[in-house]
Amino acid sequence: MSGSTAEEILARRARELARPADPEPSGELVELLVVAVENGARYALETRHVRAIVRNRGLARLPVGSGSLLGVIATRGDAVPVADLAFLLDSARPDPHRRFVVVIDGAAPPLGLLVDEAQTVLQVPRARLRRGTRTDSSAPGVTVLVPGGIVLLDAEAVLADPRLRPTVRQSALTTAVPKS
Q: How confident is the model at residue 107 (pLDDT cuts 50, 70, 90)?
A: confident
Domain locations along the chain: 33-166
pLDDT tens figures, 36-68: 998 788 999 999 999 999 999 999 987 766 668
Architecture of domain 33-166: Beta Barrel (2.40)
Residue 25 has pLDDT above 70, yes or no: no
What predicted TM-score, i.e. pTM, was given to this entire model?
0.73
Q: Is the pLDDT of residue 170 over 50?
A: no
Asked if residue 1 has pLDDT above 60, the reply is no
**Mean pLDDT score across all residues of the chain:** 79
Using an 8 Å Cβ cutoff, are 49 and 155 in contact? Answer: yes
pLDDT (tens digit per residue) in 108-124 = 899 999 999 999 999 98
Asked if the model's pLDDT at residue 14 lies above 60, the reply is yes
